Amino acid sequence: MKKKNVCIGIACLFVFCASMVSGTSLDAKTPESVESQKKAVVAVSVDDRYGRRIVSGSGFIVDREGVVATSCNLITKFLESQENTMAVELADGTSLPMKQLLSDDCRNGLVLITIRGRELPMVTLANGYKPKEGEEVVVMGRTSGGNSTSSEGRIRSVRKQDGIFQVTVPLTPAGDGSPVFNRKGEVIGLSTLIHGKKQAQHIVFPSRYVSKEFALYGDLTKGLSVLPPAEPLNKREEPPGTRLSDMAEQEFLRGVSYEKSGMYEEAIAAYARALGINANYSDACVNLGLVYYRLGRYSKAVDAYKDAIRINPAIPSVYNKLGAAYIILGEYPLALDAFKQAITIDPRSSDTHFNLGVAFILSGDKNGALEQYILLKELDKHQAEKLLNLIP
């Protein structure tokens, strides 16, 4: 991964006048609504090339597909050397390497990273939350080895202009990146340490900053132009009119009917039967890929689209679909290759230029995205402006 210089400057953002105070232990037991989400709280660590621990902290899963929010203090250490590695340890002790760094400019003291996972436990973010002084909170972290920690306290002070707040719970370095819960079990903020000359201060960035960062990533991925089903390719292994072709066609049409009715598992089975009869049935490959994509089975969608390209490598819409699946999987170099291949076939496709621009953004190549914006201005001004608004 190409390393970038990270300019945090959080200490200049905001320093409370009040000094750090001891945590306040509330008489009430930690709510079940909070306890039920502790599996979504993770440990995050950075090791050097020899596997020696440099720093560790906490984080929390904000999306079941493996998006984790944590403190930018950890990312700063990770980016100090290209040979450093970062890993996320789940509640069951499973350690997963970081797959992708989604944001490395440390906006608002936090970053998002991804790990490979499916159907992971995730926290509930408080939507539209505004912190209030005196409100009861729970700060929950996780240390390496699967142990979770929780401390109860209250919101001590709130900065009016941006909602950044402090709590009466002290924070250790191992808790840097911990979620702060309200008693409803909603995450209302992300804890981080601001290192001053004399001591570190525990401040909390409201959950809306986490939501905003995640929405930015979502806008990039969901904004991809995934084109409608490919036009019929009519490339069959058997000549039209033969019994095998008729049987494959019947299964394909059955799959289309299932798909329109939302019966996706049945559609998958029907398309698979069509391909079992005729392995070179491109339409069945494309439709199978679309169903997998809708169901979030992106790796299987990639396999189906690659089969379609193997059969007929001259259909640009299939490369667009393949690239979109790669984007979701975080395989940005492969997505770039797919979109570039589509442009080679159809250089004037505004959808493909837009998709390529998004892939450049996610790859951290701002110049590449701007080049696509310039080309889009001649092809589709609306698409061009849409892309420009996504370029950081």
Alpha carbons 251 and 275: distance in angstroms, whole number: 9
State the pLDDT confidence band at 139, using cuts at 50, 70 and 90: very high
Q: What integer is the mean pLDDT of 226-234?
A: 43
pLDDT digits (tens, 9 = 90+) for 13-64: 333 333 333 333 333 467 888 998 899 999 999 998 888 999 999 999 998 8
Residue 157: the pLDDT is: 94
Which among 289, 38, 373 is positioned nearest to 178, based on CA atoms?
38
Portions of the chain given CATH number 2.40.10.120: 10-206
- The residue assigned the tokens 């904004």 is 223
Model pLDDT, residue 136:
94
pLDDT of residue 260: 81
Residue 19, pLDDT score: 31
Closest among 80, 92, 74, 66 to 145, alpha carbons compared: 92
Q: Write down the pLDDT at residue 69.
A: 93
Q: What is the pLDDT of residues 348-359, one digit of tens each?
A: 999 899 999 999
**pLDDT tens digits, residue range 369-392?**
999 999 999 999 988 898 898 888
Give the pLDDT confidence of 179-212 residue by residue, as tens digits. Answer: 999 999 999 999 998 876 667 789 999 998 888 8
Mean pLDDT of 308-312: 92
CA angle 333, 101, 58 (to 5 degrees): 155
Q: Buried b vs exposed e over 146-163: b needs ≥16 C-beta within 10 Å?
A: eebbbbbbbbbebbeeeb
Mean of pLDDT values over 168-179: 92
pLDDT at 238: 42
Strands 179-182 and 165-167: unpaired
Asked whether 376 and 389 are in contact (CB, 8 A), the reply is no
Three state DSSP letters for 218-259: HHHHHCCCCCCCCCCCCCCCCCCCCHHHHHHHHHHHHHHHHH
pLDDT over 50 (residue 163): yes
| DSSP result, 83-95 | T-EEEEE-TTS-E
Residue 242: pLDDT band with limits 50, 70, 90: very low
- pLDDT at 97 exceeding the cut of 60: yes
Name which of 261, 259, 290, 287 is nearest 274 in CA terms.
Answer: 287
- Phi/psi at 249 (nearest 5 deg)? -65, -40
Q: Where is pLDDT greater, at 391 or 246?
A: 391
Lowest mean pLDDT among 21-25, 96-100, 218-222, 299-303: 21-25
Looking at residue 222, its pLDDT comes to 55
Q: Which CATH architecture has domain 223-390?
A: Alpha Horseshoe (1.25)
pLDDT score recorded for residue 206: 93
Q: What is the Cα–Cα distance from 146 to 10, expressed in whole angstroms?
A: 30
Residues above pLDDT 70, as percent of the chain: 83
- The predicted pLDDT at position 99 comes to 81
Q: Where are the alpha helices (DSSP H) in 91-146?
A: none
Q: Which CATH number fits domain 10-206: 3.20.20.30, 2.60.40.10, 2.40.10.120, 3.20.20.370?
A: 2.40.10.120
Backbone angles phi, psi at 143, to 5 degrees: -105, 160
| Closest-CA residue to 211 (of 128, 140, 155) | 128
Rounded CA-CA distance 158/156 in Å is 7
**If phi over 0 gives left and psi between -120 and 50 gives alpha, with beta otherwise, what is residue 196?**
beta
Structure confidence at residue 87 as a pLDDT band (50, 70, 90): very high
Average pLDDT on 275-291 reads: 90
